[in-house]
Amino acid sequence: MLDDNPLLDNYHQAPVIGYHRAPLSQKFGAPRQPNLVALTSVIEMLAPYDTPAAFDGLDKFSHIWVSWQFHHNYRYKNNNETSSGFRAQVRPPRLGGNQKIGVFASRSMYRPSGLGLSVVKLEQVKIVQGRVLLIIKGADMIDGTPIIDIKPYVAYSDALTQTENGFAPTAPELLNVTVTDAANEQFMMLVSAGEPSDANNNDTNIKDANIGSNSATVASTIHRIQNQLIASDMSIIKELIAQDPRPAYRRTEIATPFVMRYKSVDVSFQLIESGQLQIIAVVTV
């Protein structure tokens, strides 16, 4: 308990105001920076922070800042702090995973606060069953990420053009991604199998990434984004894999399968001789 800690003055406690609900439930495959992939997700606000009055005026902003907690690293997983101490240096994937730099010169998840900060596109402030759901696009957070704070992005002060960007002056180079005929057939069969009929459930019948009708419930809205596979998901899957989520030290391995979980499926891909990443299988989890 912090109350028994003589270093209490060195700590600041912040409430969790919501949770991120997303198609990506594992770190592998998640974008390493925001806005690299236009992935749709939702922030489910918790009571009492889910009152619509608290978001009055937010829909006039196109983007928001989101403060959040890295909850899948060794310090915070299962709500059990297991850190062996302060890690002063890290090995960023952008530098090949070999060169060390100071943790405060990186965006590593292994930082003293365990906090992340992202700018994302605000698609919609949606009121469902009297609660607020924020539909966003471009997050670099995974499913279940605790949300600590939300603020509007203000371009005149937040968008700086005359900057130095250290070891990351430009966006990472993308790899070409192909899909085998067998994998594409598997994917389309799963899409077809998961499409609800109009007669049975209009509320969850969507063919694209929009969020559906006004009669949606909180659970059905989140389900669409987390689990329901739709045809346009293949484009998102290819964009995620094009970022090359493989560990830096394994990026020369030919024909070694890697698996990325997306919504309700596991997507297997591998590097082929041509230098492309190829999706070879899509199977239900």
pLDDT tens-digit profile of 80-92?
Answer: 444 556 788 888 8
Per-residue pLDDT, 176: 97
Q: Rounded to 10 degrees, what is the CA torsion of 246, 208, 144, 35?
A: 60
Q: What is the mean pLDDT of the chain?
A: 87
Contacts of 146 (CB under 8 A, 6+ apart): 16, 18, 19, 20, 68, 69, 71
Per-residue pLDDT, 111: 83
The mean pLDDT value for 103-119 works out to: 88
**pLDDT reading at 49 higher than 60:** yes
At residue 49, the 3 state secondary structure works out as coil
Contacts of 97 (CB under 8 A, 6+ apart): 91, 247, 248, 249
Q: How many CB atoms lie within 10 A of CB 173?
A: 8
Per-residue pLDDT, 207: 36
Both structure tokens of 127: 């009121």
Q: Compute the distance between CA of residue 205 and CA of residue 228 in angstroms, rounded to an integer.
A: 10
Domains of the chain: 2-158 (2.40.30.70), 177-284 (3.30.2310)
Per-residue pLDDT, 249: 87
**pLDDT reading at 231 higher than 80:** yes
Per-residue pLDDT, 24: 97
**pLDDT reading at 164 higher than 60:** yes
pTM of the model: 0.85
